[in-house]
Structure 1
Amino acid sequence: MQPNIQHICQGGSAMELVSTVVGDNVTGIRDDCAVGPLIDVDSPAPEERIAFWNDIFAADKNMSQFDWQAEFLATCNQLRNLGREAAEVVIWAGSHPTEQALRRRVHWWLRSTPVKVSEVLVDIEDMADGTADRIHAPIACASVERLRLRFSHRLESTDYLRKQLADEWGALRDHGQGVRLWEGDRLLEYPIDHYDATLLALVEQQPVRFARVVGHAMAETGQSDCFCKWRFATLVRTGHLSLASGNFHDWLSAMICRDMLNH
């Protein structure tokens, strides 16, 4: 009889890919803990965390009715029950700040649990497109063959490593306010406006289609489209950029330009 193995990874595309590799019993955590305040993220009703995501998605009409309280309560329950009925918990993470934050978070939740913990860790060499100049290497961009190989050679986490990563999560959660970047095999904290200068440099005085600028911003920073759109909206709100036409509710047709007083 096969042992009961519980897998945990980032939600969305990563979860779909891991499920393709291992089948059922895959838990996906959707929250991106590489950005925003973390102080209350592990509570059932994290008010600061909810306020942060409400702000990011303020201009997204599709998310206006999203129940963040229910989402975070469900996430808390998933993490609280992790490993209770499993012989082994396998953490899947790439060299990406979102997944490395989740990796540490899972170890924190499992810190007092006797369950066996193993890890499937991927890097640039595992990416399906073989691109060497990637900013990050997330699970979702790895090839199925490499993930199968990594899973078959997964390493059991030692007690020392489990404590180290759990302690790192505790420090990140207590002090995290901005963005976390994966540098030198470590998660480093930067202010939330860390990318603003880069985003400003992508916009000239001549209006340009906002969707195009967002695409360039994602390539330059490695951040998600929702994060980049939010920072651009913040720069417009603070007068550093201007909307030449349209609005952020219809961002695919909007035009954006550099404010003449901030060129």
Structure 2
Amino acid sequence: MGYTRRRCQLPMGTLAVMGALHLTAGPGALPALRTALDSVGRSDDAVLWFPDTLSCGPLLPPGTATRVQWWDQWPDDDEPNDDRLEEVSVPGGSPAFWKRVEAADPLVLWYDSNDTAESLFFHVLCDKAPDNVPIDVAALHGPVGSRSADELAGHLDTLHRMTAAERAAVRRTWQRLEQENATFRILRDGHLMSAPADHYDTALLDAASSEWTLIIRIVAPVMAATDVGHGILLWRVKSLVDSGALLADGDPWLWQDTNVKRVQPQHP
């Protein structure tokens, strides 16, 4: 899951929640999840996806304005293309989104426990959901969006109801990350950790060489190997150009047209 500014879109007239609310970290899993719920007689259950990617950007000060300001720096590749859909959330989650969470009974979280952004989605929902909202969890190994409706339906019988102690432990992790307020958050050996702004710079420099190379060819392998979208990596490429670690023959933001190369060390 790369970093892009994402908008939560819901069919018109679906703001009221009655009963279970199933949440995913992104929109890809929603069609199969909706089919899975319908197939087992749970058509009244609602489905929704979380409108932010928390693997990067500031978490403090709290509130949607901090997250919106961060994402407004990057191109928005996810403009709505269906006039039947209503934009109801923004990065960080609008009041409408959190009202749905507060009304859920239970809240069902579907996420890939091996994915940084999805693990963060799980943690923030456990932290922000009111204590009186029961939380059921489907922690999968692999992308939720790649599962068929039949596979997802099979997990409905094995959902785990989180205990108060489990929720408290997850909250502690999220609140630590929130207080650290780093540029990036990564998953290492199954544990969420904060990482500085230059965390991916070494990988970008390793992908570059002393020969002029299109930025897209430097960014692409780093995107493939990490949980990072092109906008964030272009920002880091520009930072490396500004610092003198890379030379550019044009605007670094124009990644399909501009070449960069590593600066050769000067020998006395």
TM-score by length of 1: 0.76
Aligned counterpart, 2:185: 180
What is the CA distance between 1:103 and its match in structure 2?
0.6
Amino acid at match of 2:260: I
Aligned counterpart, 1:100: 119
In 2, the alpha carbon distance for the partners of 1:176 and 1:16 equals: 34
List, as ranges, runs of 4+ consecutive aligned residues in structure 1 with deviation greater than 6 Å.
none
For residue 9 of structure 1, the aligned residue among 21, 24, 28 is 24
Amino acid at match of 2:106: E
What is the CA distance between 1:249 and its match in structure 2?
4.6
Aligned counterpart, 2:3: none
SS in 2 for 1:180: strand
Judged with a 3 Å threshold, the aligned counterparts in structure 2 of structure 1 residues 37 and 204 are, in CA distance, closer, same or farther, namely same
Judged with a 3 Å threshold, the aligned counterparts in structure 2 of structure 1 residues 61 and 237 are, in CA distance, closer, same or farther, namely farther
SS in 1 for 2:199: coil
What is the CA distance between 1:202 and its match in structure 2?
0.4
Kept in 1: contact 2:102–2:130 (CA 8 A): no
Write 1 or 2 for the structure with the bigger share of helix: 1
For residue 45 of structure 1, the aligned residue among 43, 61, 65 is 65
For residue 259 of structure 1, the aligned residue among 235, 243, 263 is 263
Judged with a 3 Å threshold, the aligned counterparts in structure 2 of structure 1 residues 217 and 44 are, in CA distance, closer, same or farther, namely closer
Q: Which runs of 5 or more residues in structure 2 are unaligned?
A: 1-17, 39-44, 79-88
Kept in 1: contact 2:52–2:90 (CA 8 A): no
For residue 194 of structure 1, the aligned residue among 199, 209, 212 is 199
* RMSD (CA atoms): 2.8
Q: Does 1:109 align with 2:128?
A: yes
TM-score by length of 2: 0.75
SS in 2 for 1:121: strand
In 1, the alpha carbon distance for the partners of 2:228 and 2:239 equals: 16
Q: Which runs of 5 or more residues in structure 1 are unaligned?
A: 64-69, 124-136
SS in 2 for 1:31: coil
In 1, the alpha carbon distance for the partners of 2:103 and 2:69 equals: 34
Kept in 2: contact 1:39–1:175 (CA 8 A): no
In 2, the alpha carbon distance for the partners of 1:61 and 1:83 equals: 26
Point out the more displaced range, 17-26 or 232-241. Answer: 17-26
Judged with a 3 Å threshold, the aligned counterparts in structure 2 of structure 1 residues 44 and 212 are, in CA distance, closer, same or farther, namely closer
Q: Does 1:33 align with 2:48?
A: no
Amino acid at match of 1:98: A
SS in 2 for 1:189: strand
Aligned counterpart, 2:158: 153
Instruction: State the Cα deviation string for residues 132-171 of structure 1 (Å, max 9, x = none).
Output: xxxxx43234454433322332111112111221232122
* Residues matched between the structures, number: 233
Judged with a 3 Å threshold, the aligned counterparts in structure 2 of structure 1 residues 195 and 104 are, in CA distance, closer, same or farther, namely same
SS in 1 for 2:100: coil
Aligned counterpart, 1:126: none
For residue 137 of structure 2, the aligned residue among 85, 100, 119 is 119
Kept in 2: contact 1:202–1:213 (CA 8 A): yes
Q: Does 1:71 align with 2:90?
A: yes
What is the CA distance between 1:89 and its match in structure 2?
0.8
In 1, the alpha carbon distance for the partners of 2:61 and 2:31 equals: 28
Kept in 2: contact 1:208–1:257 (CA 8 A): yes
Kept in 1: contact 2:234–2:253 (CA 8 A): no
Kept in 1: contact 2:237–2:252 (CA 8 A): no
In 2, the alpha carbon distance for the partners of 1:220 and 1:117 equals: 32
Instruction: State the Cα deviation string for residues 25-62 of structure 1 (Å, max 9, x = none).
Output: 22222321111221224x1422xx3443344x1xx487
Amino acid at match of 1:85: A
Judged with a 3 Å threshold, the aligned counterparts in structure 2 of structure 1 residues 145 and 192 are, in CA distance, closer, same or farther, namely farther
In 2, the alpha carbon distance for the partners of 1:15 and 1:244 equals: 43
